[in-house]
Structure 1
Amino acid sequence: MAKKPIGPVRRDFAPWDDPQARPYIEFRNVTKTFGDFIAVDDLSLKIYEREFFALLGGSGCGKTTMMRMLAGFETPNAGEIFLDGQNLAGVPPYKRPVNMMFQSYALFPHMSVEANVAFGLKQEGMPKAEIGERVEEMLKLVKLQDFARRKPHQLSGGQRQRVALARSLAKKPKVLLLDEPLGALDRKLREETQFELTDLQYELGMTFLIVTHDQEEAMTMADRIAVMDKGRIVQIATPAEIYELPNSRFVADFIGDINLMECKLTAREGDVSSLHAPVFGCDIKISQAVDANIGDTVWFAIRPEKVRISFEEPESRVNALKGEVWDIAYLGDVSIYHTHIANEETVRATVANRSRVVERPMSWDDEVWLSWDADAGVVLTR
């Protein structure tokens, strides 16, 4: 029986769940060092054809090094890298069926848009007529056919980004590598471009590999995300699984906002576990079978948007905390309440601002109750 997906899925596409599926890109026990620094540490990874895959992590985690090894700009100290069944060892960058799009775009300022897109095709010796057809096809694809004669300085940042994308796609590589491609765009344009890239990748049926430190970017565009730390992959999963079911405190804390409470496991009955959080002074019941022994230290993780905040005391003291509003962040669409509990521990709750007028808005120093459902959080053992 196929695994039921968590959260929304963009398409009926999950070759990683098929044991018979052959990976399109594969890293096998790859290690890369720079002097004494281990950038990538005995890493193995499988990416499938037509997948939009994201490598996500902070600076120095090894994600860009992985992309550069796939492109041929760096050589592994150990391990093997395969693309479509071919071992890439010894294959120079210009002979690899991949293309890379950089954050800087690297457009030629003295060339027109169409000349920039055509540059790589001319270098390959493609016939002039075919170059014209391919350039026209690519500019139409990125909706820049009316800007063909312009120079890069006559374009907006978003348009230059699309020129760089068209040039990267013109040679029709098997894999497109995207190195922080949207970092130079403003927030609104970046959000629009994320959806454009997703739609384009699906339309072309190509394999995209993006490197980013922006979790929202990875969550929006990728079919799967590999969260990296210190040269290793900590978790690989779909965006919804990464967010809803992190496998460690590192992943839970790295992706989005999270409340983490150190607890003791007090009871287990089937798929229900009971915890006690001594610092917060509360008992927690969760619909999850926890792989730990009674008395072990575990951590309860819950997202702020899953925490209810109210003046009214809940019927049960289980999954409930009393606190005092310490700080409020009004973001327009939502308000984030920072509530101090015992020992000045803080629990965050996010409330959607569904109307302009509220009879009694919560304010600083108000005493409130926080509560949540038994299936709202997750228990982490590491």
Structure 2
Amino acid sequence: MAKQALGPIRRSFAPWDDPEAKPLIHFNAVTKRFGDFVAVDRVDLPVFEREFHALLGPSGCGKTTLMRMLAGFEEPSEGDLLLDGKSLKGVPPYQRPVNMMFQSYALFPHMSVEKNIAFGLKQDGMAKSEIDDRVGEMLKMVRLEQFAKRKPHQLSGGQRQRVALARSLAKRPRVLLLDEPLGALDKKLREATQFELTDLQQELGMTFLIVTHDQEEAMTVADRISVMDQGVIRQVAVPAEIYEQPSSRYVADFIGDINIVEGSLEAAGDGMTRLVAPKSGLTIEAEQTVTERPEVAWFAIRPEKLRILRERPAEASVNAVEGEVWDIAYLGDVSIYNVKLDDGTIMRATVANTTRLVERPITWEDRVWLEWDRNAGVILTR
């Protein structure tokens, strides 16, 4: 019988919206210093049981340091780390119900697949019959039964990744920590493995915490994402909210492609805000109530929300601008148009290729108009 899709489970899972829900993990005002360098700065983050949570950010933002503190490899300089409401201060790594899967996989090259998976269980003194049963269960779960006797060098990158995952899960930790686990895989295998990870996490009912710099990976696997920058969490939200309602220019710019226009704010009636950008000749209206009134604000809009037209739109005074097609990238499923405005600003529009292209209706050096709806973008004040 075919496995049931996970949609209903993931769609209804949102303990962070329940004020009565208690987090499984709580980074409570955690700071970590290395000498004068502040790697993590007063991070306060709850992670709930059965949640797949992603720490996303560029290299050096503090995400791996945060994970290493949870694993017990580093101690906080300030603040506390709670698991089930109990402090982990002074608890050594081997006594924490947490296991970590490293980016390098760290498999023992002289051991077979089954012995790699069994290693931690033997260290814990588990009976041989129980170890055999657990290893068999893990091999079946990651679909490597026929490779049990092989050594790591006889496996593909994807198979080694699954061995490392099985070894991490064999001890049945409360929390599995994944440090850039798919970085060594090629694009297609990485995408397939992302869905395998989410299925596995739901099937086991475990809490996963993943560190990644790959935005698409975080968006695919995570229930919630924490976007980090310079040791600080800039926004915590579900993937759709991170993408469609970024809280700042940093988050908007870090997640996916985006056009950002700088200007000044004007009131435009109930539920509507206007941003004027004289340099680009743009007047933008957004279905958004903005209470702050900084001197400078920004309008952020995703390329797929723009429409590219040959003719001037009927309502060209608002949410429309003219320019010249400067570059085109054909990616198969979509075409990307870089349109140069008269002031030199480049705006990017993405068009889905819903038909087979024989000849481009819009091509290089064409004069075109870009337009968008009032609910297509977001005004940012920081």
Which bracket does the TM-score occupy, shorter chain normalised?
A: over 0.9
Given residue 35 of structure 1, which amino acid in structure 2 is its aligned partner?
G
List alignment gaps of at least 5 residues for structure 2. Answer: 1-7
- Cα deviation digits, residues 139-172 of structure 1 (max 9, x gap): 1111111211111111111011000000000000
Given residue 84 of structure 1, which amino acid in structure 2 is its aligned partner?
D
Partner secondary structure for residue 119 of structure 2: helix
Taking the aligned partners of 1:123 and 1:175, their CA distance within structure 2 comes to 19
1:305 is matched with 304
1:156 aligns with 2:156: yes
Deviation at 1:85, TM superposition (A): 1.8
Deviation at 1:61, TM superposition (A): 0.5
Taking the aligned partners of 2:363 and 2:357, their CA distance within structure 1 comes to 14
- Cα deviation digits, residues 362-382 of structure 1 (max 9, x gap): 211100010000100000001
Deviation at 1:359, TM superposition (A): 5.4
2:100 is matched with 100
Deviation at 1:14, TM superposition (A): 0.4
Taking the aligned partners of 2:275 and 2:67, their CA distance within structure 1 comes to 42
Deviation at 1:268, TM superposition (A): 3.1
Given residue 297 of structure 1, which amino acid in structure 2 is its aligned partner?
V
1:210 is matched with 210
Deviation at 1:11, TM superposition (A): 2.6
Partner secondary structure for residue 201 of structure 2: helix
Count of paired positions: 374
1:18 is matched with 18
Deviation at 1:292, TM superposition (A): 2.6
Partner secondary structure for residue 38 of structure 1: strand
List alignment gaps of at least 5 residues for structure 1. Answer: 1-7
RMSD value, Cα: 1.3
Given residue 296 of structure 2, which amino acid in structure 1 is its aligned partner?
T
Deviation at 1:356, TM superposition (A): 1.4
Taking the aligned partners of 2:12 and 2:147, their CA distance within structure 1 comes to 36
Partner secondary structure for residue 110 of structure 2: coil
1:243 aligns with 2:252: no
CA distance change for structure 1 residues 164 and 231 in 2, over 3 Å: closer, same or farther? same
Partner secondary structure for residue 168 of structure 2: helix
Residues 268 and 290, structure 1, Cα contact 8 Å, conserved in 2 = no
CA distance change for structure 1 residues 358 and 263 in 2, over 3 Å: closer, same or farther? farther
- Cα deviation digits, residues 52-102 of structure 1 (max 9, x gap): 000000111100000000000001111100112221000000111000001
1:5 is matched with none
Percent identity of equivalent pairs? 69
Partner secondary structure for residue 185 of structure 2: coil
1:322 aligns with 2:322: yes
Taking the aligned partners of 1:314 and 1:20, their CA distance within structure 2 comes to 51
Taking the aligned partners of 1:327 and 1:311, their CA distance within structure 2 comes to 16
Given residue 333 of structure 2, which amino acid in structure 1 is its aligned partner?
D
2:49 is matched with 49
1:132 is matched with 132
Taking the aligned partners of 2:192 and 2:182, their CA distance within structure 1 comes to 10
2:347 is matched with 347
The 5 A counterparts of 1:357-376 are 357=357, 360-376=360-376
Taking the aligned partners of 1:91 and 1:311, their CA distance within structure 2 comes to 65
Partner secondary structure for residue 190 of structure 1: helix
Residues 234 and 251, structure 1, Cα contact 8 Å, conserved in 2 = yes
TM superposition outliers: structure 1 runs of 4+ over 4 Å: none
